Amino acid sequence: MSEVSILEKLRAGYHPKLPAVFAENGPWVRAATGEPTRSVADAAAISKLFPNTYGLPVVTFEPDVKRTTTALTVGVILSGGQAPGGHNVIAGILDGLEALNPDNRLLGFLGGPSGLIEDRCIRIAPDLAALYRNTGGFDMIRSGRTKVETEEQFRAVAQTCRNRGLNALVVIGGDDSNTNACLLAEDFLQNNIDVQVIGCPKTIDGDLKNAQIEASFGFATATRVYSELIGNIERDANSAQKYWHFIRLMGRSASHITLECALQTHPNVAVISEEVAAEGLTLRELAEGIAAVVRDRAAAGMNFGVVLIPEGLIEFVPEIKTLIGELSDLLAANAGLFKSLSSTDEQLQFINSKLGRESSQAFSSLPHNIQLQLLMDRDPHGNVQVSRIETEKLLVDMVKAVLREWRGAGTYSGKFSAQTHFFGYEGRCAPPCNFDADYCYSLGYTAAALIAAGKTGYMAAVRGLAGPAAQWTAGGVPLTMMMNMERRHGEDRPVIRKALVDLGGKPFAEFANRRSEWAAGNCYLYPGPIQYFGASELCDRPPLTLELECG
Ligand code: FBP
């Protein structure tokens, strides 16, 4: 990193804000504990699988006296997709550990969990961290999606911990990576390996949240980047008045990103997958709903508009959800045979011969490219890779078909010319906004304090996020508390439950109240780029959905 931009140079001097308990006491805090906890569901199965880490109490930090702690070696990994602020989590861990004891050492394992399995790491010293403070990306130690799964991999990780003399490991990741962190914590306790495991909630998708974890980091920055781009496109649409823009937004299964961006930009249509599932809409009904907005705007002389589509939409359309479930089980059970089929035609034939009647019909109704996209490899955690399914193109084609029918029937006479976009990677490595820079640094500091308190099997938790950082509180939430059983790779497995958009919650209610006005008019909002310097109301604001959720 020889040359840096002016923004990076100035931004390096930003001092992230910490919750008062740390701002006033440094990492010398006392862990106050509450009652034993239960998993969000499937308590019997989860408690059996996690006999040592199940039922731990929630931890809240309170001020304590300064004391000397023994020197520790701590490892850290970044796991899964990039999210703005990861480097600040590492900086927070480093500064927390340094303050506790200058002899503490932090090791960064390279390329995610595989770095841990293969024992590849670097020392993260203050001069290295200085190059990455307040920057986006995960390039300091990179990331990866390998899952620690087999007995051999668990033993390899244990061996790495021994080789490096680790006392603790921090896993910075999403729901699947933190599930893995919990499995590691349990495995270490079962095998008398004295290594604590702490998780940190990362993902732009915003789906790693619950009653205790208010937000995952990265969501605030990524949605600001997408909202800037959407606002720019809205202004272009309103200037040229000739295109409908169909914009697919990253976010995996949940529609949190789409909902947040809709609240920030007021598009004409925003599809929320969770609502599609709740109403049991078919793809055809969904297309008809969008086409109706196109038709009504055309009747008012507006042959243009903006539609937001969540990346994971297709998984929520009931007939496609059943199909995806069947496909995933089929592909898991016949992986070798499927791979040996040399042409895509043979693969499609094989799949069609194995699917049940309804799924086979749903599969046949899809265009060829979408069929192939649904057959692509699942990620190491068994998820369909929805970022590779071009739902925005599918919807444009379906809306076109509906409008063609309506034109034939004499109920539509407008023009429909569509542009498609996919925003995802554009936002994942943006320099963190103040909210993420502060939140991430606080999470890292909290992880260091949890390690000093001797905790394992916990996720670092910083709360009160809708208020100013000085009023935030810090502590830890047992990872088992967030778990339930889900079907993955054809088997029931313990996983941290993903948070979907709550259709009874305030953010969705706000959107539902306003959407017909946005559909009919041009109520576009242009949020512009993230501001790193200037008025607090511009720079420090948390996401709108978080403000609405936390009052
Ligand atoms: P995680 O934070 O859950 O790892 O995923 C973030 C994400 O950006 C998703 O929104 C998206 O579907 C996926 O990663 C894309 O994966 P990849 O980086 O492998 O293309």
Does 199 contact ligand 1 (Cβ within 6 A)?
Answer: no
Q: How confident is the model at residue 379 (pLDDT cuts 50, 70, 90)?
A: confident
For residue 527, which amino acid is it?
P
Ligand 1 pocket test target in 225, 387, 422, 497 with most atoms within 8 Å of CB: 387
Secondary structure (DSSP) of 26-87: TT-EEEEEEEE---SS-HHHHHHH-TTTTTPEEEEEEE---------EEEEEE-SS--TTHH
Ligand 1 pocket test target in 209, 250, 258 with most atoms within 8 Å of CB: 250
Write the residue with the smallest CA distance to atom 17 of ligand 1.
81
Q: How confident is the model at residue 339 (pLDDT cuts 50, 70, 90)?
A: confident
**127 and 272 housed in the same domain:** no
pLDDT tens, position by position, 369-378: 888 889 888 8
From the CB of residue 514, how many other CB atoms can be counted at a distance below 10 Å? 14
Q: Is the pTM of this model over 0.85?
A: yes
Write the residue with the smallest CA distance to atom 10 of ligand 1.
251
pLDDT value of residue 342: 84
* Percent of the chain whose pLDDT exceeds 70: 100
Domain range enclosing 475: 20-218+432-483
Please indicate, yes or no, if residue 191 is contained in any of the structural domains.
Answer: yes
Does 305 contact ligand 1 (Cβ within 6 A)?
Answer: no
Does 113 contact ligand 1 (Cβ within 6 A)?
Answer: no
Please indicate, yes or no, if residue 462 is contained in any of the structural domains.
Answer: yes
Write the residue with the smallest CA distance to atom 1 of ligand 1.
81
Q: Which atom of ligand 1 is nearest to the CA of 252?
A: 12
Please indicate, yes or no, if residue 10 is contained in any of the structural domains.
Answer: no
Q: Which of 43, 93, 81 is nearest to 199 (CA)?
A: 93
* Percent of the chain whose pLDDT exceeds 90: 87
Instruction: Tell me, in angstroms, the distance from the centre of ligand 1 to residue 241's CA.
Output: 33
- β partners of residue 199: 171, 459
3-state secondary structure of 448: helix
Return the H-helix or E-strand segment holding 367: none
Does 250 contact ligand 1 (Cβ within 6 A)?
Answer: yes
| Average pLDDT score over residue span 339-362 | 90
Burial of 119-155, coded b for 16+ CB within 10 Å and e otherwise, reads bebeebeeebbeebbbbbbbebbbbbbbbbeeeebbe
**149 and 294 housed in the same domain:** no
CB 231 within 8 A of CB 251: no
- Count structural domains, the chain: 2
Please indicate, yes or no, if residue 90 is contained in any of the structural domains.
Answer: yes
Write the residue with the smallest CA distance to atom 7 of ligand 1.
81
Separation of alpha carbons 433 and 399, rounded Å: 37
Q: Following CA atoms 168, 174, 179, 183 in sequence, which dihedral angle do they give, to the nearest 10 degrees? A: -30
Rg over CA atoms, the chain: 24
Whichever domain contains 349, its CATH number is: 3.40.50.460
Instruction: Tell me, in angstroms, the distance from the centre of ligand 1 to residue 81's CA.
Output: 4
Q: Following CA atoms 393, 398, 401, 403 in sequence, which dihedral angle do they give, to the nearest 10 degrees? A: -100
Place of tokens 């071009």: 390
Instruction: Collect all residues with Cβ–Cβ distance below 8 Å to 443 and sequence separation of at least 6.
Output: 89, 92, 200, 201, 217, 460, 462
Q: How confident is the model at residue 278 (pLDDT cuts 50, 70, 90)?
A: very high
Highest mean pLDDT among 332-346, 380-394, 471-485: 471-485
pLDDT value of residue 480: 98
**422 and 438 housed in the same domain:** no
Instruction: Tell me, in angstroms, the distance from the centre of ligand 1 to residue 165's CA.
Output: 32
**166 and 89 housed in the same domain:** yes
**212 and 307 housed in the same domain:** no
Sign (positive/negative) of CA torsion 500, 506, 507, 509?
positive
3-state secondary structure of 106: strand
pLDDT value of residue 1: 56
Please indicate, yes or no, if residue 256 is contained in any of the structural domains.
Answer: yes
Does 387 contact ligand 1 (Cβ within 6 A)?
Answer: yes
Sign (positive/negative) of CA torsion 264, 265, 268, 269?
negative
pLDDT tens, position by position, 506-538: 999 999 999 999 999 999 999 999 999 999 999
Q: Which of 199, 223, 197, 196 is nearest to 212 (CA)?
A: 199
Using CA atoms, how far residue 176 sits from 79, 369, 381, in Å, is 9, 28, 7
Return the H-helix or E-strand segment holding 482: none
Bridge pairing between strands 305-310 and 244-249 = parallel
Please indicate, yes or no, if residue 9 is contained in any of the structural domains.
Answer: no
Instruction: Tell me, in angstroms, the distance from the centre of ligand 1 to residue 364's CA.
Output: 28
| Average pLDDT score over residue span 424-429 | 98
**259 and 379 housed in the same domain:** yes
Q: Which atom of ligand 1 is nearest to the CA of 385?
A: 12
Please indicate, yes or no, if residue 14 is contained in any of the structural domains.
Answer: no
Q: Which atom of ligand 1 is nearest to the CA of 312?
A: 12
Does 81 contact ligand 1 (Cβ within 6 A)?
Answer: yes
Does 27 contact ligand 1 (Cβ within 6 A)?
Answer: no
**132 and 262 housed in the same domain:** no
**200 and 178 housed in the same domain:** yes
**230 and 341 housed in the same domain:** yes
Please indicate, yes or no, if residue 3 is contained in any of the structural domains.
Answer: no
Least confident of 72-86, 159-173, 291-305, 311-325: 311-325
Tokens linked to 47:
């408690």
Separation of alpha carbons 432 and 134, rounded Å: 6
Does 18 contact ligand 1 (Cβ within 6 A)?
Answer: no
Secondary structure (DSSP) of 243-281: -EEEEEE--SSS-HHHHHHHHHH--SEE--HHHHHHHT-
CB 75 within 8 A of CB 51: no
**55 and 142 housed in the same domain:** yes
pLDDT value of residue 268: 98
Instruction: Tell me, in angstroms, the distance from the centre of ligand 1 to residue 293's CA.
Output: 31
| Average pLDDT score over residue span 110-122 | 98
Q: Which residue has the higher pLDDT, 442 or 381?
A: 442
Whichever domain contains 77, its CATH number is: 3.40.50.450
Q: How confident is the model at residue 500 (pLDDT cuts 50, 70, 90)?
A: very high
CB 109 within 8 A of CB 92: no
**440 and 518 housed in the same domain:** no
**φ, ψ (nearest 5 deg) of residue 463:** -125, 170
| Average pLDDT score over residue span 312-336 | 90
What residues act catalytically? 205
Q: How confident is the model at residue 462 (pLDDT cuts 50, 70, 90)?
A: very high
DSSP-assigned letter for residue 138: S
**101 and 195 housed in the same domain:** yes
Say whether pLDDT at 362 is over 70: yes
Q: What is the mean pLDDT of the chain?
A: 96
Does 312 contact ligand 1 (Cβ within 6 A)?
Answer: no
Report the half-sphere exposure of 351 (CA within 13 A, side-chain side).
Answer: 30
pLDDT value of residue 542: 97
Q: In what order do the strands lie in the sheet with 305-310?
A: 269-270, 305-310, 244-249, 418-423
